[in-house]
Structure 1
Amino acid sequence: MVKSVDRALTIITLVSKRKEGVGVTELASNLEINKSSIFRLLRTLVKHGFIEQDLETKKYRLGYKYLELSSMLLESIDLRTQAKPFLEELESHTNEVIHLVVYDQGEVVYIEKIEGNETLRTHSQVGRRAPMHCTSVGKVILAHLPLNEILDIIDKNGLPKHTEQTITDKELFIQELGKIKNQGFGTEVEENETGITCVAVPIFDNQKKVVAAVSISGPSTRMSAERLIVIRPILMDIGKKISSRLGYKDH
């Protein structure tokens, strides 16, 4: 690796985790390098808009360059364009929150969210990452990956407990993925957030590879077992339509 690039990216990662910003002393301590080197790296990042300094606190935070880049990235993802009408159709049928996610480096990334007409507070937002093992979208994607890739993700990220309902046993989790693959959908009942239930289906491309997942999320009080039976076929139909738009043929 190029050490200076590695350090610059580490600075960006550290700064991104702190809304109030990070000071030079703390950055120097975390990277175990002197302040003068930190200043040089920060000046370069500031010049290119990736980092900016709060003139009052003197701390550094993310620059607006990321909004520009993230907007360009989202616009370049054709999946969003192709899926949007179907996501809106799904929302019109359910009035619940609809998510579209993609798989990236052992996690899922939300690339679209339609709020629905019902009130629901969730941690999800476009651009945010989420674990795979305790989300319905993550589980349906995992279920269609090769076993060696699944095991690599589990070994790397583990199966950390998010709520009392999170599956943390490796053998049980693999069994759950097998069930999801066979039935064509995945359900998550308060495994990631207490009080929230989600159901998801995978999205496939023209190479028959899983590339994304779409889900319906709502409070567990509304997303009862009876209601899930009603909305599952609608969701599965939408999943097939999006996959078809991406060139997938189920034969």
Structure 2
Amino acid sequence: MIKSVDKALTIIKIVSTRRDGFGVTELAEKLELNKSSIFRILATLTAHGFIEQDSETKKYRLGYQYLELSAKLLDSIDIRKEAMPFLRELEKITNEVIHLVIYSQKEAVYIEKLEGNETLRMHSQVGKRAPMHCTSAGKTILAYLPKEEVLSIVEQKGLPQHTKNTITNTEDLFKNLDEIKNKGYGIEQEENELGIRCVAAPIFNHTGKIAGAISISGPSIRMSEARISTLKDELMKVCNMLSTRLGYKKD
């Protein structure tokens, strides 16, 4: 490890912990270095915009270069790429079909699908769109969208019946969405395809907004209430880890 780089990064971490910054003496004491060494490191970091000095207090704090780098990093994050290791882990644990779903133009869009080791025929395909109101991932995303947006989706897309279990009433839909938000996961009870049950959990981005959902799908005979109860814990754990990876910080 290069000592000078290590010291510089340590200073950055320390400075980031206090809004009003640190003085040179404080930093020297924390790092057990002489002031001249601290001055040289701070001067270098300041020249690159990573640290700046308050003109009044003379204390050092984080520079705006971090905002620029953070924006570039967040813009470059590919949710599909970031999610893949987590999806594979879920597939390995469950042996069921795993979907990664995002929200686009008032519909759910499958952007990844892992088939699992068990045979299951489903309509879902990568790139295919699905209704929001009768899929576990779709409902889970709806639960975290503003109410006005949900009403707009219902007004434009309606609540068409896909099976006898499909929710076709707005009031019932909102009750279900409230349950999903309270529990932190959503269940589809053969609402889109007969014989198939699914459970989904939300993914959040760095702004705290819903970024998508991951679902586990299987035949109703395997996806009993007891099994779903077990699977949802692992699913929520994975979605929390992915959300953190995307920059989400829970309040």
Fold equivalence (TM over 0.5): yes
Aligned residues: 176
Q: Distance in 2 between matches of 1:100 and 1:141?
A: 12
Q: Distance in 2 between matches of 1:102 and 1:229?
A: 24
Deviation by residue 1:124-157 (Cα, 9 ceiling, x = unmatched):
0100000000000000000000011110101111
Q: Distance in 1 between matches of 2:170 and 2:141?
A: 17
Q: Distance in 2 between matches of 1:187 and 1:116?
A: 19
> Are residues 1:112 and 2:127 paired?
no
Aligned to 2:196: 196
Deviation by residue 1:6-44 (Cα, 9 ceiling, x = unmatched):
xxxxxxxxxxxxxxxxxxxxxxxxxxxxxxxxxxxxxxx
Deviation by residue 1:177-207 (Cα, 9 ceiling, x = unmatched):
0110111000001000000000000110000
Matches for 1:20-99 after TM superposition, within 5 Å: 78-99=78-99
Q: Distance in 2 between matches of 1:206 and 1:134?
A: 27
Aligned to 2:46: none
Unaligned runs of 5+ in 1: 1-75
Aligned to 1:211: 211
TM-score by length of 1: 0.69
- Name the SS of the counterpart of 1:222 in structure 2: coil
> Are residues 1:171 and 2:171 paired?
yes
Aligned to 1:153: 153
Give the fraction of aligned pairs with identical amino acids, expressed as a percent: 60
- Name the SS of the counterpart of 2:100 in structure 1: strand
Regions of 4+ moved over 3 Å? none
Q: Distance in 1 between matches of 2:230 and 2:174?
A: 27
Unaligned runs of 5+ in 2: 1-75
- Name the SS of the counterpart of 2:121 in structure 1: coil
Aligned to 1:225: 225
Aligned to 2:139: 139
AA in 2 matched with 1:223: M
